[in-house]
Amino acid sequence: MSEEAAGGLPGSQQDDVDVRPQENDVLHITFQTRRDDVLKALEVYDKKKKIDMHRNMEILGVFVVLWMFVPYAFEDPGQIVSWIMIAAALALLGLILFYPKHVNQKAAAAREAGSPEYVLMVNADGIDVAEGGAHYYIAFSGAVNVYDYEGVYAVAFDKGRVFGIPKNQLDDDLLDRLRALLGQALGDRFEKVYSAAERRAMAKMGRR
C-alpha cells in the first residue's frame, strides 16, 4: 500500500447535526465494493502511516545521486560509471513513483472482484463484518482507526488491513448515526483527514 503526502489535520469529527447514538444501537450497513472507494481507503491509510513521507525521502535521495553524477557525465561523456549511476537512479525513481500505485490498483481490483458486497453490523463495541465469504469481528477496544477521507470512512485494523465504507451508499439518517457512533466509540481515533485539494480550498477561503 502507498502514499502519505501529509497526515490529516488534527481534530475530532465535527457533526453538522447533533445525533447521539442510542444505547445498544446496532447499525445494519450493506454496500457494494467499488474500486475507487477501495483506492481512497488505501490512500488515506498510506497517508496516516507516513508511507509518503518515506517515499519523499527516497525521491530526495535519488535527486541527490543525479545531482552528483549528471555534471560528471556531461563533462566526460565517456565516463561509464556516471551513466550507469544516472540510469540506475532514474529506474529507481520510476519504481518509487509508480510501483506503489500499481500495487494499490491491483489490490483494489482484487477486492472489488473477491468481495463485491460488504454486510456490517456496527455497535458501540465494534463491527461485525461479512464479505467475500469471510466473516470476522473488529473490536473497537483493539488497534482500530477510522478515517473520514474523500467520501469514505476508511476502517484500518489488524496491522495493515483496511476497507472503506462509502458514504454515498448510506442514507442521511444512517450516515448521521454511524458518524455519531464512531465518534463516541473511538474518540480521537475517528479522524477527518483532508486531501490536498481540500487543503488548497481551505487555504483559499482563509485568504479571503
Return d(Cα 8, Cα 100) in angstroms, integer: 20
pLDDT at 159: 81
Q: Where are the domains of the chain?
A: 27-207
Looking at residue 31, what is its pLDDT?
A: 97
Which cell goes with 162? 483496511
Position 129 scores a pLDDT of 97
Give the pLDDT confidence score for residue 195 in this predicted structure: 82
- Print pLDDT tens along the chain (208 aa): 543 333 333 333 444 445 555 556 899 999 999 999 999 999 999 888 755 556 667 667 777 878 888 887 888 888 788 888 888 888 887 776 777 788 888 989 999 999 999 999 999 999 999 998 899 999 999 999 999 999 999 999 988 899 999 999 999 999 999 999 999 999 999 999 988 777 777 777 776 6
In this predicted structure, what is the pLDDT of residue 5?
A: 34
Query: Strand, helix or coil at 89?
Result: helix
**Distance of CA 10 to CAs 14, 17, 175, 194, 201, Å?**
12, 21, 22, 10, 17
pLDDT of residue 4: 34
3-state per-residue secondary structure call for the chain = CCCCCCCCCCCECCCCCCCCCCCCCCEEEEEECCHHHHHHHHHHHHHHCCHHHHHHHHHHHHHHHHHHHHHHHHHCCCCHHHHHHHHHHHHHHHHHHHHHHHHHHHHHHHHHHHCCEEEEEEECCEEEEEECCEEEEEECCCCEEEEEECCEEEEEECCCEEEEEEHHHCCHHHHHHHHHHHHHHHHHHEEECCCHHHHHHHHHHHHC
The strand pair at 126-131 and 27-32 is best described as unpaired
